[in-house]
Amino acid sequence: MNYQDIAARILESVGGKDNIQNFEHCATRLRIIVKDDTAIDGAKVDALKEDIGGYFFQSGQHQFIIGTGKVNYVYEEFQTLMGKSPSDSNFKEDAYANMKPMQKLMRIFADVLIPLIPALVTTGLLMGIRGMLTNMGVEMSVEFATLFGMLTDIAFAFLPVLITYSATKRFGGNPILGIVVGLMMVAPQLPNAWAVATGGAEPMVVSIFGLSINIVGYQGSVLPGIFAGWLVAWVERHVRKYVPAMMDLIITPFVSILVSITVVLFVVGPLLHGVEQYATHGVVFLTQIPFGIGQIFYAAIQQVIVITGMHHALSVIEIQLITETGVNILQPLGTASMAGQFGAAIAVATLMKNKKQQSNAISASASTLFGITEPLLFGVTLPNPKAFAMGMVGGAVGGFVTYILGVAPAGMGITFIPGLLLYTQSFGAMIGYLLVIASSFATAFILTRMFVKVNQ
């Protein structure tokens, strides 16, 4: 690949230097925000597809799929042609301004929750290790079991603390104030949410203006924490406008914390917690439909959700599933959906006669092994709707295998091959997960080879 030539052609296809508002790259794609979308030359973009992995437009960004590693070199050449660094302006703010309201909401979820994924993944891995030791017959003393429980439970028990910190930071507030409000949401003085849910404790009943309000802690909750972080930042920002500078250090934090925790505990928090519970119960109901129909359906359409960009919101439901049920059924179903599209994409690549196109298709598909499917979707399967449909069928078969084998880990945040780490509790669990992947891949691969024609 001639990186300089590719960069020059991309620049020409999007309307030249004067039409570029901002640009950056991720693991596989060069992402560009333009000033005028009508200046995009569709013919030149289509011609580029012959030499790169593909192109798609999403969330206000023109995304050119270059491939892992290669994108770094194309980005350097593109930056040279532009004659400036993208750091001259904020790419995230520019991208956010171009999004539709629902896309903005999904982006907020992603901005708040993605920084927490490493901690939640670690917790899931520790749960797997504990399960593996238990299955191996390792006997733990009471003290050791208590310490191990600390490792596996703390991140979810204090999740509102992590979320309010991340949300407050995301919305431009003082994240330390967010931590304080988050700690208040899980304070030991409040009835533990898990104990109340299992009947081991009763809610605290508080009467205000003749109304009785049930108050419980927010262990494992997500939406109240995001709202609390936003409210802390909003109150802090507006109070600071009216407070004299010499009183800011005292008045602003006091009002920000007091107003935020009051609104969360007595007004908005109970409502959002109820929304979380309904969403979780809805997913659980879906997965309990007889004969695995719900799991088959979800595994078939999960990558459709990815195409819309709404998959970022699924993290909220995954966290709640782990908190309330102890397992995350969406992880293997999501992996099944990915494996189906991967099988279809590899089959499409094997049907291609053009070696360059074949190489690009395989390159675009490779990131799927690590849970990144957009290059495969927009570069390989979506351009061939029949192949995408065969991938959905493959995902559905994997969903049925998930149902038959009862595959579900206690963690989240990693899928496909890295997701194996969530199944270390037993050899059987790991084999079950691999069978989900294999069944999805094989079904989609075979069906695509049988029924899809590729004109390349």
Report the C-alpha gap between 336 and 436 in whole angstroms: 6
Q: How far is CA 311 from the centre of its chain?
A: 6
- The Cα–Cα gap between 150 and 144 comes to 10
Phi, psi of 58 (to 5 degrees): -155, 140
Residue 123 token pair:
């917790």
56 is a catalytic site residue: no
- CA nearest 267: which of 196, 209, 219, 323? 209
Letter for the amino acid at 12?
Answer: E
Question: Which value, in Å, is the radius of gyration of the alpha carbons in the chain?
Answer: 24
Of 348, 375, 359, 366, nearest in space to 416 by CA:
366
Contact criterion met (CB below 8 Å) for 248 and 174: no
Residues 6+ apart with CB under 8 A from 140: 133, 148
Determine phi and psi for 23, rounding to 5 degrees.
-160, 155
Given 1, 8, 26, 446, which residue is catalytic? 26
Distance, CA of 12 to CA of 324 (rounded, Å): 52
List, by residue number, the catalytic residues: 26
